[in-house]
Structure 1
């Protein structure tokens, strides 16, 4: 009987540990795109990766009727920021004018639009124990 209880307890704890590792889902919607050309790409960043290259999770989507929905699954609790780019010519990078101003639209979590490059402290948000739905403006 003790063995049966131990096996049942072990099985139950294993199931709950797998459920806890699944993480949170972040659904990002952009609904103000001015063109359906190209793709929208998003990168989920920690403070260590922000503005330094690829995020810890990356996703992209084709644009339909000026709108995209991108989902990040199995995100562990913590602090993050999102960077998004409308890559109209699908060259995989942000294009700039001669004066350094972006040619393609972009957005960040918290919809902070300031002069100069985005800052992590302005764009950061917390992932805790509930799925998140974020609307980001470009």
Structure 2
């Protein structure tokens, strides 16, 4: 009986420590134009090399419509841990962030934490720890270079 109680206690503690997940809501306000849509990528440390470059390396990704110059997205059942969000307004719906010949983005983009960076933002610039059931982030779009359509 003592072994059974220890087993049950171990399963319970494992569930408490390792089974915790949260919901992440991201709001993108004040989008200047409703062209295209918003591509949102949630990265964990494993996919961090693709941050704001390669959506296929993200942990999860979504595409959302722009309505009344704002957008929002929710990621459910995210295991507690360290993450970073990058997003961009895909104004021409080609599925990637367009860049000038010198590499700077010509479509509006943003990262969790809204940190201003010199050079391309990294995973570390936008990282945060998800450790509660409900987390809400507001990400402001930035325009580095304007495109002439």
How do 1:41-60 and structure 2 match up within 5 A? Answer: 41-52=39-50, 53=54, 54=56, 55-60=58-63
Question: What does residue 36 of structure 2 align with?
Answer: 38
Unaligned runs of 5+ in 1: 1-5
Pairwise CA RMSD of aligned residues? 2.2
The two structures have a TM-score, normalised by structure 2, of 0.76
1:112 aligns to 2:115 (yes or no): yes
CA apart distance, 1:99: 2.8
1:22 CA drift (Å) = 7.0
**Aligned-partner Cα distance in 1 for 2:45–2:121:** 12
Moved over 3 A (4+): none
| Aligned equivalents of 1:96, 1:51: Cα separation in 2 | 18
Q: How does 1:53-72 map to 2 (within 5 A)?
A: 53=54, 54=56, 55-72=58-75
Count of equivalent residues: 126
Give the structure-1-normalised TM-score.
Answer: 0.81
- Which ranges of structure 2 fall in alignment gaps of 5 or more residues? 142-149
Q: If you compute each CA radius of gyration, which structure gives the higher value, 1 or 2?
A: 1
